[in-house]
Amino acid sequence: MSNDVEYLYRQDSDFWYLTGIEEPGAAAIFRPGAPERERYVVFVPLRDPRVESYEGPKVGPREAPAAYGADTAFSSDELLERLAKYDRASRSYSGYLAGVEKLYLSDGGDAEWADRLREALAEMRAREAGPPTVVDAREVIHEMRVVKDADEIALIRRATEISARAHTLAMKAAAPGKYEFEIQQALDSYCYANGARRMAYPSIVASGPNSVFLHWDRNDRRIEEGDVILNDSGAEYGYYATDITRTYPASGRFTPEQRAIYEIVLAAQKAAMAEVKPGVPHARIGSSSARVQVEGLVRLGLLKGDAGELVRNDGHRVFTKHGVSHWVGLDVHDAGRYSVRQGSRVLEPGMVFTIEPGIYIPANAAGVDRRWWNIGIRVEDVVLVTETGFECLSCAGAPRETADVERNVQAGSAR
């Protein structure tokens, strides 16, 4: 992070999904064709009394099988040798890769280790002993991660409950004269106090002219009378993320222009949510949202032309800079494809994703009256696909109707 200060370690999502191991420096091998008690092998660093005197006790190779449910465990230093062990006397390989036809590999982004493994594989192949096929395991794992099971849904639900309540508190903390970071503090501190080890991403509190920037995270501006505040924040709980955005008036009441844009965005979100049920193409979420946004912007005179043609030609992108939905899970923009060979992926029960339409009108926008300038509006919620439709995990916990939003901001000012 700076000099000799490191960030709190956060395990690679794919590796954690398969193992539940949080410690750095670990590896795992899955051997489906091996004898029982030899199919799941983990490698962890040796215990170091000096390191533990600073950081606390670790799980070493001796403790790893019981701690992680592995069949056996070894030191991380032994990984390459046990994968590609070569006996010079017999001129044969006896490691885990001996006789393997296909290796599914995920290197966790460790380029140095991956280079060493490639060298070992090249030596094996030179002796006609290495796996002839190496496949990127991430594609398989990412497909596994798209549909959540009950335990995963419970963790996302908890992350969302905490974050939604924190958004309500942030609304009440908003007022002209405060700084963006004060609003962030009200939200983040509640999340940390309720079991979140970290936020899922740096919290965005963007007021006035900053509200039109999609990933503003400096959060250092003094909020002024008449500003709109866009707050995009979500906690991580048990490694699972959430992602919620609320937009509200610093003074407790939207201006007519802010209200007009807000109501278009909210209507677009509701139209998109109404599409959610098993069997519906994921792409329909975006097209439904775009149609409502374009119709609204044409009605206000901010876009000109036929609404249908504007949607077909992405005319709404003038004021909308991003897609309106992404998977949520171990990563805030979670793994998994959005399209398949037949086209857009269809929704299934257990899928979790955001619906987040937005409209952003910067100062000096070409051909736009200045009364619309510096208005950035986004409403974002987390949705779970159920057997019969959907459940919005965040809608009830964080106000989004115009009157409710204003009432919450005013309640804070009254104190």
Token match 């709109």: residue?
228
The Cα diameter of the chain in Å comes to 84
DSSP class of residue 217 equals -
Q: Residue 207 pairs with which residues in a beta bridge?
A: 229
CATH annotation of 147-414: 3.90.230.10
Cα angle 397, 270, 388; round to 5: 80
| Distance in angstroms (rounded) separating the CA atoms of residues 59 and 47 | 7
Any idea which architecture 13-143 has in CATH?
3-Layer(aba) Sandwich (3.40)
The Cα-based distances of 109 to 106, 113, 371 in angstroms read 8, 9, 48
The reported pLDDT for the residue numbered 357 is 98
Residue pointed to by tokens 């009950």: 150
Residue 12: which of 32, 115, 22, 2 has the closest Cα? 22
> What is the token pair recorded at 403?
């009157």
Contacts of 74 by beta carbon, 8 Å cutoff, 6+ apart: 41, 42, 43, 61, 82
Sign of torsion over alpha carbons 342, 347, 353, 359:
positive
Tell which residue, 361, 381, 167, has the closest CA to residue 268: 381
Residues carrying an active site annotation = 4, 215, 232, 243, 322, 326, 333, 356, 360, 378, 380
Rounded CA gap, 231 and 255, in Å? 18
Tokens at 326, concatenated: 């992404």
Both tokens assigned to 35:
């004898």
The full DSSP string for 262-295 is: HHHHHHHHHHHHTT-STTSBTHHHHHHHHHHHHH
Give all strands of the β-sheet with 244-249 in edge-to-edge order: 204-207, 228-233, 244-249
Burial annotation 314-342 (CB, 10 A radius, 16+ → b, else e) = ebbebbbeeebbbbbbbbbebbbebeeee
Structural domain spans, the chain: 13-143, 147-414
Tens place of pLDDT per residue across the chain (415 aa): 899 999 999 999 999 999 999 999 999 999 998 999 999 999 999 999 999 999 999 999 999 999 999 999 999 999 999 999 998 888 999 999 999 999 999 999 999 999 999 999 999 999 989 899 999 999 999 999 999 999 999 999 999 999 999 999 999 999 999 999 999 999 999 999 999 999 999 999 999 999 999 999 999 999 999 999 999 999 999 999 999 999 999 999 999 999 999 999 999 999 999 999 999 999 999 999 999 999 999 999 999 999 999 999 888 789 988 999 999 999 999 999 999 888 999 999 999 999 999 999 999 999 999 999 999 999 999 999 999 999 999 999 999 999 999 999 999 976 5
Q: Are 354 and 382 in contact (CB under 8 A)?
A: yes
Can you give the pTM of this predicted structure?
A: 0.96
pLDDT for the residue numbered 415: 58
Give the integer Cα–Cα distance in Å for 349 and 360: 33
